Structure 1
Amino acid sequence: MTSPDYILTIRCRDTIGIVAAVSTALAASQAFIAESSHFGDPETRLFFMRTVFRPTGEVVRTLEDFRKALAPVARRFGMELALYAADSRTRVLLAVSKHGHCLNHLLHQWHSGELPLDVVGVVSNHEDMRRLVEWYGLPYHYLPMSDGKDRQESRFREAIASSGAELTVLARYMQVLSDEMCRHLEGRCINIHHSFLPSFKGAKPYHQAYARGVKVVGATAHYVTSDLDEGPIIEQETHRVSHAFDADAFVRNGKDMENVVLSRAVRWHAEHRVMLNGSRTVVFQ
């Protein structure tokens, strides 16, 4: 039987000897390092590392065994250290309003086994996507804004908790989350913005871009914060447009980019490739 792979992520103050200490601890535990990436940020003086490894040798070592083996290194360098089974699947709750292209793309990839996650349900403030979601056999949480924002977000948090969702994805969920909700979901909520941030924030960004005569449109996936459309960026994509395009053509071109960008961001988060670095991210691709 092939030994399972594990994923190790590390965040700490940058200094000499971190990679050597981690590698030595893993080697002493008879672990084979299959992949490793690291980055030291000269501005924040923080160090980030992602390593994929597997146990070898006659003794079968568990995730907990490796946590114990790495504990002295973590204490020595003051690390934020996390270990995951590589085959574990992130539980994801999707949120949508009336535009279903991002939702449909994610559901198709999940159903086809192309994303390392388990979709546990869909939240919406409209009924439009119910038929699609229920076709996939998923629970559909209809949470209308007519109940009031506080009550609606309370029920949203209940849906997250009851489903065991580890990540919430706003797949064109056209509601601004309250500061309280943003704090509750900090670091575990991804939004797709149909624009190349930081330009053209808020409503109808493609129409804003068209009015300004831009030559490039884009899409941005980012973590949600209380600052509207200003959270740490995970992934972006752009597409060149012509003076002959009208605002509707901008929107049509943008939808494909939104699908791809959001899918990448969700995948990288689920594979523990994204690490927060203040208002930015480190993404190990």
Structure 2
Amino acid sequence: MNMSTVNTARLLITCEDRPGIVQAVSSFLYHQGANITALDQYATEAQGGRYFMRVEFELDHLETRQDALIDTFQKNVAEKYAMQWHLSCVRDIKKVGILVSKVDHALLELLWRHARGSLPCEITQVISNHEDLRESVENFGIPFTVVPVNKDNKVEAYARIDELMQGNDLLVLARYMQILNEDFVNKWPMKIINIHHSFLPAFVGANPYKQAYEKGVKLIGATAHYVTADLDQGPIIEQDVERVSHDCTVEQLREMGEDVERNVLARAVKWHLEDRIIVDGNKTVVFQ
């Protein structure tokens, strides 16, 4: 643990916009002896909209004061403004499990960034429905487990995956080419991030690059989103695009698209780990 982050915490807040929220939060932290190091805010309307805030602060002896801090904030600030809020401490490293099939580019990007220390998490394991990527994963010193999935065993397979993934804070679908069942998704609300290899809402489902080619697109893109029971309809976290030419083949589109995918997914995962995302209905507020 980096000693400079032992006493760092982040506060995410959502509520109806009212005068005095910033003052109430900052005053509370001041009187606790905390030093605010970052503060981002957003309101949907000039008056009477929804309000969102992310505050990062330093507080000496945070570990021993955390419970009292949470209780006092709830009673003195959160109840007054009817806040939905969450406090996380940077010292509590989030645990991440990854699901993948045969395509490796998104997975390897995450493993590489994690190995270099740029993804602040513990990757606990990788689960796949195929053996293909075992060596690639185990070369990073991360456990690799195969759970076969077919049309006849999906209930049992997802129950097994859910069992294996218990204890994780986040699941990442790094091109996991299976549709998760509703029961599984409901057990991980806004805790599963998927990379969709197209610029949603266009080209949902299978073979998006072939669909894009047939439409003669001039831009291709990728979308990272939270997974819900509605296929490819969860709140979008991050998107990016790449300009393409009329003479690009399907394979060239796929190669360019994979570069976009790997970076979009890595950014979305990093922002989740750094508590930069607030889900608001079917949208997200992302403080970058």
Report whether the alignment pairs 1:90 with 2:94.
Answer: yes
Matched, 1:160 2:138: no
1:80-102 superposed Cα distances (whole Å, 9 cap, x missing partner): 22111124321000000010111
1:125 Cα deviation after fit:
0.6
Say whether the 8 Å CA contact 1:63–1:83 is kept in structure 2: no
8 A Cα contact 2:7 2:63, kept in partner: no
CA distance in 2, matches of 1:269, 1:171: 15
- State the TM-score, normalizing by the size of structure 1: 0.94
Q: CA deviation at 1:24?
A: 0.9
**Alpha-carbon separation, structure 2, partners of 1:59 and 1:28:** 14
**Alpha-carbon distance in structure 1 between the residues aligned to 2:68 and 2:9:** 12
- Is structure 2 residue 156 aligned with structure 1 residue 151? yes
AA matched with 2:156: R
Task: After TM superposition, list the pairs within 5 Å mapping 1:181-260 onto structure 2.
Answer: 181-260=184-263
Question: In the aligned structure 2, how far is the partner of 1:243 from the partner of 1:14?
Answer: 48
Q: Would you say the 8 A contact 1:97–1:174 is kept in 2?
A: yes
Structure 2: gaps (5+ residues): none
Change (3 A) 1:220 1:59: closer
- Higher mean alpha-carbon deviation, 247-256 vs 141-150, is at 141-150
Mean Cα displacement is larger for which, 107-116 or 189-198?
107-116
Unpaired runs of 5+ residues, structure 1, are none
Deviations 1:47-86 (A, max 9, x none): 2110011126x99973223223312101111112211112
Aligned match of 2:134: 130
CA shift, 1:228, in A, is: 1.0
8 Å contact kept, 1:218–1:238: yes
Shift in Å at residue 212 of structure 1?
0.3
Q: How many residues align?
A: 282
SS of alignment partner, residue 62 of structure 1: helix
What secondary structure does 1:76 align onto?
coil
Alignment partners' CA distance in 1, 2:269 and 2:222: 14
CA separation in 2, counterparts of 1:114 and 1:257?
A: 18
Q: Would the aligned equivalents of 1:6 and 1:63 in 2 still touch at CA under 8 Å?
A: no
Distance 2:282 2:134 in 1: 35
**TM-score for the superposition, normalised by structure 2:** 0.93
In structure 2, what is the Cα distance between the partners aligned to 1:277 and 1:264? 19
